[in-house]
């Protein structure tokens, strides 16, 4: 059986860890050549090595998605090596670190929007001309259940993730003319390093059991296969949608 993404070129941001790393691995397993971005060059290189070891094709593209000129240059350089990008997964992100509204200073607020919102904007801008020329493209933004439902002590994160939902819907309408589909995944609690030690605390465990009907965290693979489907030809009629694998926490 032909692989879902044979012949496609994909860029996954923040692919040195967690969900992004598994997104990159699953897209590669389905035949895509993957450009692996991460802020951390060693982490990006490790994902590339894992993909190549598994028989896939990948190159690294280190850089901060929140730096407009530098990330645009890095993406253009990578695209010259492997071809114009068909699939963009805007995944790079940081945690909100559980701060009350009055504890969030300007620097933290700016960083949150710089990475999640402007980062997705800059990467989308860098790949769009190529997609328009091919009259084909898939953009998948990584929002969160916090962008859908909010949460206390995380308003900068929730606001940035909600902004990604707005961008997803606006871009879906604006780019449809070029047969470019734009969707978002909005994960619930997924087992990755993003929460650090907090994910091992009694407080976190009790909160999870009280609020998640399926009574467990999700695995990165449970996001990555959804991303692969949304990136495929089989999802060509899906655009502007927010799909939330969250164990039933937000329904």
Nearest to 33 by CA among 100, 113, 87: 87
Does 142 bind ligand NAD (CB under 6 A)? Our answer is yes
Choose the binding region for ligand NAD from 63-71, 81-89, 205-213, 231-239 (rule: CB under 6 A).
Answer: 63-71
User: If DSSP codes are grouped into helix, strand and coil, which group holds residue 138?
Assistant: strand
Rounded to 5 degrees, φ, ψ at 90 are -85, 100
Site for ligand NAD in 173-212 (CB under 6 A): 187, 189-190, 192-194
> Which of the residues 122, 157, 204, 237 is marked catalytic?
157
> Looking at beta carbons only, is 38 or 222 nearer to ligand NAD?
38
237 is known as an active-site residue? no
At 82, list the tokens.
């492997």
Does 14 bind ligand NAD (CB under 6 A)? Our answer is yes
Q: In angstroms, rounded to a whole number, what is the distance separating the alpha carbons of residues 63 and 65?
A: 6
> Looking at beta carbons only, is 136 or 189 nearer to ligand NAD?
189
Nearest to 78 by CA among 126, 111, 122: 126
Does 50 bind ligand NAD (CB under 6 A)? Our answer is no
Select the residue interacting with ligand NAD from 5, 9, 11, 17 (CB under 6 A): 17
Nearest to 5 by CA among 222, 225, 240: 225
- Least distance in angstroms from the C-beta of 114 to ligand NAD: 8
Q: Are 171 and 88 in contact (CB under 8 A)?
A: no
Q: Are 160 and 113 in contact (CB under 8 A)?
A: yes
The site for ligand NAD (CB under 6 A) is made up of 13-14, 16-20, 37-40, 43, 64-66, 91-94, 115, 119, 142, 144, 187, 189-190, 192-194
Residues known to be catalytic: 157
């Amino acid at each position: 059986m032909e692989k879902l993404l044979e012949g496609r070129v994909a860029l996954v941001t923040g692919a040195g860890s967690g969900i992004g790393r598994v997104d990159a691995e699953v897209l590669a397993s389905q035949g895509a050549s993957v450009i692996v971005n991460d802020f951390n060059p060693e982490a990006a290189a490790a994902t590339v090595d894992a993909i190549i070891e598994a028989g896939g094709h990948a190159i690294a593209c280190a850089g901060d998605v929140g730096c407009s000129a530098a990330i645009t240059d890095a993406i253009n350089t990578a695209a010259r090596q492997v071809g114009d990008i068909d699939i963009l997964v805007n995944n790079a992100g940081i945690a909100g670190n559980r701060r009350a509204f009055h504890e969030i200073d300007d620097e933290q607020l700016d960083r949150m929007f710089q990475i999640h919102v402007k980062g997705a904007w800059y990467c989308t801008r860098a790949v769009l001309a190529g997609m328009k020329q091919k009259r084909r493209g898939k953009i998948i933004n990584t929002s969160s259940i916090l962008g859908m439902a909010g949460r206390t002590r995380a308003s900068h994160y929730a606001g940035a993730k909600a902004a990604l939902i707005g961008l997803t819907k606006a871009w879906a309408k604006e780019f449809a003319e070029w047969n470019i589909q734009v969707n978002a995944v909005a994960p619930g609690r997924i087992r990755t390093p993003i929460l650090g030690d907090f994910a091992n605390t009694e407080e976190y465990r009790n909160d999870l059991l009280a609020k998640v009907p399926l009574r467990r965290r999700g695995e990165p693979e449970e996001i990555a296969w959804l991303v692969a489907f949304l990136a495929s030809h089989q999802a060509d009629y899906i655009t502007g949608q927010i799909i939330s694998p969250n164990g039933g926490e937000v329904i």
